[in-house]
Chain A
């Protein structure tokens, strides 16, 4: 069944929804990357919650005008309108008052959502309202979707994706270095606004599929996951788009295979699985790699400190230092240094002395500044330079 779904053999609507979700996921991953790089990931949460009153208002207006109120393009237009107003409120609260952006986001998302719920209860009192199914916008629902709606979502996903692809260059410039971007004539305010419009577009298109509570996941999780694999902004956007697209595609497919698998949550959980994989296993920034490196580093620090303590015949206070020295065969079980230990300690102390002298030597001090306590002197200074230092050590300079 899953195989059927993934190979697009579950019928026309499911196929459209899967392709739409994939396009939406890619667009969201791409747009979300720039939001993430601007450290404003959660602004999208305010945007998505602020769509709800718009859905209610649009429904009521369409009913008042004599329509049936369930026309998807109309509902989406309404949601975009209030999402925009929500965004303006966040900006106004942050700029015109002392409140910080996180408080502004929280206030806007809860108040707009509350207002949306009020409107939904009004909708439900209308004759048509009970069947309106506006609640499906909360968590998304693709079951029993009209063909025209599926087409709209697929098209919306593709258009948003194309927009992100077209605009990636200015987005990258602003996300990477706003000051520089401004100096080179980019209008930051306008680019930020465009980015927010795209975030809104992703949200609105995703309402019906993922739902407004979880759509932010598609904007946030893929970029965060992608960040573990690369340090380059352009690559980051590409990987995020790929992860987002994969989440949308697989998630929508999975949810079509059985009842009780709501589309939005499944897409989010697929995205999270990709995140968890990246978080743990990515080379470089992944947690496992990081932990191994940290252990290695801690080992090196304690080893060096232990050796210096041995060389200066100081007691070793820390148990970990002692353990490491023992394990390396540098001290005996009773704490007395072995010959190997004394040899390495003498070398460590000699190098420390060399660094000290290098610091005080005018033409070497720049290189000596690279010493962070663990740097091997041979990796920074040439044999000639070391010989020069040793010559200085042999003829002491009186200090103090």
Chain B
């Protein structure tokens, strides 16, 4: 495993694309107007890893994820997934957007949302058969939401909504899971349920990348970390990269020390 981070020579630049990578990003720049939100990001995610994208508010974490998926149009940059262009590899990618990005007043039930994850399989007019329904129910069971299947989505709590989104991603049956702030505003039980599912996925050889904002849980939850503050600060295994010094670089000096408290320092 190569650690590509700023060392004495200070470069933030990665080596050439890794042929075996689950996700490779090169030179990704996104701007709103004339301010880059992310600038020239290089990223390599190894298969079977669980990577946290970490950085301060406004660092471009969500934007990076959206640009990777082609949801926002980058000014420059290339993306390869399992060594294929994104478009070809999309069937192997599942996405959990931020909970707040959709209209929860939409007239639909929990089970219908999970079924959206089967969209590729069902096609335009494919009939929903018993085994599809069973798969969707199975995904709901994995996130502990079976009894809510027939519930209107607007009636769910924040944590329950997040679990439904995760169930939908599970239904996609993908190899690479991209999650945008899956733990934002959810209760402790949901957080535990989600992380258990993500660890199951990893155990099954899947790759997980999540935008994450709670620094204290990074070492417990993730194997790798990607530090970003508009530009890439560092990427690598948690034990190598998730250091006070790197966090200082990411969050900017004292601010980080204040934000982190003692916890991360002990954890590292």
Contacts and interface: CB of A to CB of B under 8 A. Distances in A.
B240 to A, nearest CB: 5
A373 B249 contact: no
B108 interface: no
B16 interface: yes
B5 interface: yes
B12 A321 contact: no
Interface stretch (B24-32, B189-197, B201-209, B215-223): B24-32
A397 interface: yes
Nearest to A350: B10
B229 interface: yes
A315 B10 contact: no
A373 B29 contact: yes
A305 B253 contact: no
A367 to B, nearest CB: 9
A102 B29 CA distance: 35
B152 to A, nearest CB: 12
B168 interface: no
Contacts of A96: none
A318 B248 contact: no
Interface in A307-365: 308-309, 312, 314-315, 317-318, 320-321, 349, 352-357, 359-365
A293 interface: yes
B247 to A, nearest CB: 10
A103 B248 CA distance: 49
Given A301-B31, A305-B29, A309-B27, A365 B36 contact: no
Contacts of A318: 27, 76, 78
B76 A374 contact: no
A297 interface: yes
B245 interface: yes
Contact of A365 (B7, B10, B16, B248): B248
B9 interface: yes
B2 to A, nearest CB: 11
A98 interface: yes
A362 B10 contact: no
Which interface residue of B9, B16, B248, B253 has the most chain A CB atoms within 10 A? B253
A384 interface: no
Interface stretch (B86-94, B109-117, B173-181, B230-238): B230-238
Contacts, number: 119
Nearest to A364: B253
Nearest to B59: A369
A201 B249 CA distance: 59
A98 B104 CA distance: 12
B92 to A, nearest CB: 22
Contacts of A127: none
A369 B36 contact: no
A397 B233 CA distance: 16
Contacts of A321: 27, 76
B253 A365 contact: yes
B156 interface: no
Interface string B26-56: 1101010011100110000000000000000
B252 interface: yes
Interface string B126-141: 0000000000000000
A185 interface: no
B7 A400 contact: yes
Contact of A400 (B75, B240, B249, B253): B240
A353 B11 contact: yes
Interface residues of B, number: 41
Contact of B253 (A293, A357, A366, A396): A366
B155 interface: no
A363 B248 CA distance: 11
A372 interface: yes
B76 A361 contact: no
A220 B51 CA distance: 49
A301 B39 CA distance: 8
B10 A352 contact: yes
B243 interface: yes
B11 A399 contact: no
A4 to B, nearest CB: 47
A301 B76 contact: yes
Interface in A43-69: none
A242 to B, nearest CB: 28
B7 A399 contact: yes
Contacts of B10: 352-354, 356-357, 393
A372 B230 contact: yes
B227 to A, nearest CB: 10
A320 B29 CA distance: 14
B241 A400 contact: yes
B3 interface: yes
B5 A400 contact: yes
A369 B231 contact: no
A235 interface: no
A371 interface: yes
Interface of B: 3, 5-13, 16, 26-27, 29, 31, 34-36, 39-40, 75-76, 78, 105, 229-231, 233, 236, 240-241, 243, 245-246, 248-250, 252-255
Interface of A: 98, 293-294, 297-298, 301-302, 304-305, 308-309, 312, 314-315, 317-318, 320-321, 349, 352-357, 359-366, 368-369, 371-374, 393, 396-400
12 contacts: A305-B27, A318-B78, A353-B6, A353-B10, A359-B249, A361-B253, A363-B253, A366-B255, A369-B229, A372-B36, A373-B36, A374-B36
Given A353-B10, A366-B253, A399-B246, 19 more contacts: A298-B76, A305-B29, A308-B40, A312-B11, A312-B13, A317-B27, A321-B76, A356-B6, A356-B12, A356-B249, A359-B250, A360-B248, A365-B248, A365-B249, A365-B254, A373-B231, A398-B7, A399-B8, A399-B245
The 6 nearest A-B residue pairs measured at CB = A373-B39, A396-B8, A353-B10, A365-B253, A365-B252, A362-B253
